Amino acid sequence: MGQQRTDLRNLAIIAHVDHGKTTLVDAMLKQSHIFRDNQAVMVRVMDSNPLERERGITILAKNTAVTYGSVKINIVDTPGHADFGGEVERVLNMVDGVLLLVDAVEGPMPQTRFVLRKALALQHRVVVVVNKIDRANARTDYATNATFDLFIDLGATEEQADFPIVYTDALRGQAGYTPTTLAPDLQPLFDTILKSLPPPSVEPDGPTQMLVNLLAYDDYKGRIAIGRLYAGRLRRAQEVIRIAKDGTFHPDKVAQVFVHQGLDRIEVEEASAGEIVAVVGLEEVGIGETIADKDNPLALPPIRVDEPTVQMTFSVNTSPFAGREGRWSSSRSLRERLFKELEHNVSLRVHDTDSPDSFLVAGRGELHLVVLIETMRREGFELQVSRPEVIFQTDPETGERLEPFERVSIEVPEEQGGLVMEMLGGRRGRLMDMRTGDQGLVHYEFTVPTRGLLGFRQAFLTATRGTGQLHSLFHAYEPMVGEIRGRDRGSLVAWEAGVATAYGLANAEGSGILFIGSGTEVYEGMVVGEAAKERDLEVNVAKRKHLTNMRSSTSDVAVRLTPPRQMSLDNCVEYLAEDELLEITPKSLRLRKKALDRHERKRGRIARQ
């Protein structure tokens, strides 16, 4: 393509969850004097979404820009979690190079592999940043060697595998070319970016061409289309042609044009090719569409993203407590919200079902769907969801049924290795690699059917007493393996409606682990705990103690209850059995049976037998 624009660099930062990516962006912003000296800046400034700050992960890709000397560097912070791969794939289309951030202790991890594979396939150049070298047990040689092995494993070209390495301590904002000599600031990192990552190749005088990669929304400006301007210029009030994904042309007009500077969008009269721009005024624009020249409209190749692997049914809340706590609970508002999500969440799919109150929602993994549920919950929605299930495919040649498999990376203390092997063996996992690290840790690589991983995380954390690390990544669709046993314990189900009493809970406690405490309102068919045995058990948690006029020395002593198990949204979704639903309101999470009436459940069991 045309000439190179040397005053600009467009790069993405890719890394595994929690390797310090967002912290490094903070330091780059501070050192390029984006903030006033006396300005209070929150930590992890790029994780602006409350869910991201709580979970400590990046979910949405975000743009920022810093200026180093006379060069503007556009930086896109990408999610490190495979469930948000749709975000990653769009972002990599906007940039010419990437910073690959690797933890000096852990080395490259599974999610790094996912994003790096996409970047190498697009022929992007890579600068490797080994971060957290200040940690006591940092292994910089191991991290760099393992990164090189990963490049070779992913089929990098000779040029790509000859990558520059910069060592950083992002918290202190220092960088260096060797782990032992760090400069007082990030200058070595900035210099390496300018030297090693190519400037954008542009056609400044060609017809306007911009690919829409991201969408944002502003209450005052409306929909904001963000993407890279490949050719030509974009001006305020310019008339353009919007080329939809199906190739149809739609005349439109740009109201305002913005570029990124620091964390702000700055309005400009005109932006030229190579720049990452935000455009306001195109109300119908969607991701993957081209904004083209009015007189010579040329489409850019649309973005392709991997298909979803897991689906859940979202439906209107039908529990006896429906409508008490949420602002939005009708099927119309639920449908509108789900279809609106499709505008920017490109790896999500929503389908209508036979029932007007239920919708099939498919995503890239459990976390992808859980984040959507949590977002809707915070917006005031009330709904119920079914257990996640995998999406099967059929081999077009053999007609064989295929199911998704994931590559699972596990790190556990040595004494728990046998337990993990047994757990994943029962879920049809195949051991691909095993190595013993230092500090008594064992590292395993498995391929496991996605079916076997549904509900596994909680059991794994319990079995390893929270010491195990588990990361998974979509591997491929393969021929279906045999039956996988689900949960090996039943549920404790409320016998009747009422308010849970200490006396009723004390009686139920002997049958399993409770999820609710005294004073909780329950209804018939609500799941109040996990049974100790394989089958469901009905318990009367609202039972009251009969009063007598006889008094004994012990009758009035308060009942001592074991604290109930705290169930987060992730825990609840993992716990669900096939005949159960999760009722979600802005204030409560309630597990329940699909059939609330116990006689109806009994009839259903007999019919299945």
Half-sphere exposure of 57 (CA within 13 A, CB side): 14
19 has binding-site annotation: yes
Measured CA to CA, the distance from residue 140 to residue 147 in angstroms comes to 11
How many other CB atoms are there within 10 angstroms of residue 15's CB atom? 29
The total of other beta-carbon atoms located within 10 Å of residue 219's CB is: 5
Q: Is 22 known as a binding-site position?
A: yes
Residue 491 contacts residue 472 (beta carbons within 8 Å): no
The whole-angstrom separation of Cα 11 and Cα 96 is 6
Tokens 């400037």 belong to 199
Q: Residue written as tokens 């721009």?
A: 277
- Beta-bridge partners for 242: 250, 291
Give the dihedral of Cα atoms 154, 157, 160, 165; nearest 10 deg: 70
Checking DSSP bridges between strand 125-131 and strand 97-103, what pairing results, if any? Answer: parallel
Q: Which two tokens stand for residue 511?
A: 């049958």
Euclidean distance between CA atoms 131 and 431, whole angstroms: 30
Is 30 annotated as a binding-site member?
Answer: no
Strand, helix or coil for residue 472: strand
Distances (CA, A) of 500 to 240, 491, 517: 63, 17, 7
Residue 134 annotated as lining a ligand binding site: yes
368 is in an annotated binding site: no
Torsion angle of C-alpha atoms 201, 205, 207, 213, degrees rounded to 10: 40
Consult the annotation and say whether 23 binds a ligand: yes
Helix (H, G, I), strand (E, B) or coil at 464: coil
Single-letter residue type at 563: P
- Of all residues in the chain, what percent are helix, strand and coil, respectively (each to 5)? 25, 35, 45
Q: Is 133 annotated as a binding residue?
A: yes
597 is in an annotated binding site: no
403 φ/ψ angles, rounded to the nearest 5 degrees: -130, 155
> Residues comprising the binding site for GTP?
18-23, 131-134
> Residues comprising the binding site?
18-23, 131-134
